């Protein structure tokens, strides 16, 4: 009986760890300096497609900002509540990566191809935006 309980506990913890290795959840975005908290982004998954919405901006001066430099349907829309991550799917060859979609930088209105990679047991998320061979990676922190 004791072995069964131990096996169950290990199995449950393994399932919990795998559940955290998904980008779905609430993430605190951190600026490139690695210190400045910028926003909270809720990443969700539906039918195998991942998307992300800005839920909160930490800078009080930017609370009511709009994406005035966006060139698509998000132009002049409030940044809080905006979908900035779209059409991302789990990589068929590497189940630890999500890619194929795009991320919007609402500060300049530009969209970039994106790659998401949960790290540190799912506590952090490497979010890479890139054009060709040029890229920028930020590490976001899981809130929930």
Per-residue pLDDT tens digits for 63-115: 999 999 999 999 999 999 999 999 999 999 999 999 999 999 999 999 999 99
Tokens at residue 106, please? Answer: 């609402």
Per the structure, how many domains does the chain have? 1
What CATH number does residue 25 fall under?
2.40.128.520
Nearest-angstrom CA–CA distance, 72 and 111: 10
Residue-wise pLDDT for 4-62, tens only, equals 434 444 444 443 344 458 999 999 999 878 889 999 999 999 999 999 999 999 999 99
DSSP run (H or E) holding 66? none
pTM over 0.75: yes
Domain that holds residue 30: 2-142
């Amino acid at each position: 009986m004791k072995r069964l309980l131990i096996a169950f506990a290990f199995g449950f913890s393994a399932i919990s760890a795998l559940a955290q290795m998904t980008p779905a959840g609430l993430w605190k975005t951190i600026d490139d300096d690695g210190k400045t908290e910028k926003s909270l982004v809720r990443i969700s998954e539906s039918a195998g497609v991942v998307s992300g919405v800005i839920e909160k901006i930490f800078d009080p001066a930017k609370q009511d900002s709009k994406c005035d430099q966006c060139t698509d349907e998000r132009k002049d829309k409030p940044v809080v509540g905006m979908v900035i991550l779209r059409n991302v799917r789990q990589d068929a060859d590497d189940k630890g990566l999500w890619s194929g979609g795009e991320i919007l930088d609402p500060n300049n209105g530009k969209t970039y191809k994106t790659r998401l990679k949960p790290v540190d047991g799912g506590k952090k998320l490497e979010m890479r935006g890139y054009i060709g061979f040029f890229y920028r990676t930020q590490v976001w922190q899981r809130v929930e």
